[in-house]
Each structure stands twice: as C-alpha cells, then as structure tokens.
Amino acid sequence: MLNIIQQLGTSITDLSEERINIRQFCQLWRAQTDLLTSLPPQFAEVMENLLGRMEASSLFTEESCSFSQADLTAQLRIWLDKAQRAITRPQK
C-alpha cells in the first residue's frame, strides 16, 4: 500500500509540473480501489469530493472558479499523509 501512496504523491507533483492533466490525475486516483478498501470509508468520500472539485476547477480559469487547484492539491497531500498514517498504524 505504501507504494500506491508514493505513486499518488508523485502524481501530485506530475500534475503541478503539467506532466499529466487533471483527467489523468483523477483516473489514477480513482483506480486505487485496493487502497480505498483498506482505509475507513470516509477516506473515499473525502477523496472523491476533492477530485470532483479538481475536475470542476479544470473547466474554468483559476480566477473564475471558486476552487483553487493549488489548495486542492495541498488538501490531497494532507489526505495522503493521513492515509499513510492509517495504513501504517498498528492494528489492535
């Protein structure tokens, strides 16, 4: 699972450096069903919310959209950090 988290982290960098577009980015994230099923259900809900906003932001220029791509990618980095902690947390 940690390699998936690392891959998703790399995809954030790839998006910010325009090596991938938002459609490719969102497809990659949504394809990580193994990761999502290993996390509490609220992780999938939060991720989908952020990805939906990311897709909406791509339809408009930065100034005309209420969703900042930079803010959304920062939130996805936080999401990844929390996902990594949840996965590496010792099971009771």
For 13-63, how does the pLDDT look when each residue is reduced to its tens digit (9 = 90+)? 999 999 999 999 999 999 999 999 999 999 999 999 999 999 987 776 555
Q: Note the pLDDT of residue 90.
A: 66
Gap between the Cα atoms of 38 and 61, Å rounded: 36
Gap between the Cα atoms of 14 and 60, Å rounded: 20
Contacts of 8 (CB under 8 A, 6+ apart): 28, 29, 32, 35, 76, 80
Q: Note the pLDDT of residue 58.
A: 77
65 confidence band (pLDDT: 50, 70, 90)? low
Number of structural domains (the chain) is 1
For 69-90, how does the pLDDT look when each residue is reduced to its tens digit (9 = 90+)? 889 999 999 999 999 999 988 6
Model pTM? 0.86
Is 30:52 a contact under the CB 8 Å cutoff?
no
Gap between the Cα atoms of 66 and 8, Å rounded: 24
Q: Which amino acid is at 12?
A: I
| Domain coverage including residue 16 | 2-88
